[in-house]
Amino acid sequence: MNPFMVVCTFKPGTDMAQVGAVVADEQAKAKELQDAGRLTGIHLAIPRGTVFLQVAASDEAAAQATVMELPMSQFWDVDIFPLVLPAH
C-alpha cells in the first residue's frame, strides 16, 4: 500500500445543512475504512472549507475510489497527492 494525501474542498455553493445531514453516515463509513487500513488520517479545516484525508492504496485510482466511498465526497472537489516518505 502506498500513502496518499487527499485534499477535499467543498464545492462552491454547497449547502452545509445537507452536509450535516450525512455526518452520521460519514463517521460510520470513515470508521469502516479506518478499520480496513485504507483511511489512515482525517484532518478538518472547516473554516477554510477543506478536509485532508490520509489514504493507503495501491495506486491513485484506488485512493480516489476509497474517498468516493465516503458520503461527503458528493460535496467535494478532490485533489490526490502521492506521498514520498522522507529519506533517512
CATH of the domain at 32: 3.30.70.1060
68 part of a folded domain: yes
> pLDDT tens-digit profile of 27-82?
999 999 999 999 999 999 989 999 999 999 999 999 999 999 999 999 999 999 99
Strands 50-57 and 2-10: antiparallel
62 part of a folded domain: yes
88 part of a folded domain: no
44 part of a folded domain: yes
How far from the centroid of its chain's Cα atoms is residue 6's Cα?
Answer: 6
- In this prediction, residue 14 carries a pLDDT of 95
- Provide the residue range defining the domain that includes 32: 2-82
Residues 6+ positions from 57 with CB-CB distance below 8 Å: 1, 2, 4, 38, 63, 65, 66
87 part of a folded domain: no
Facing residues of 55 across strands? 4, 39
Give me the number of domains the chain comprises: 1
25 part of a folded domain: yes
DSSP state of 87: P
Q: What pLDDT band is residue 86 in, cutting at 50, 70 and 90? A: confident
76 part of a folded domain: yes
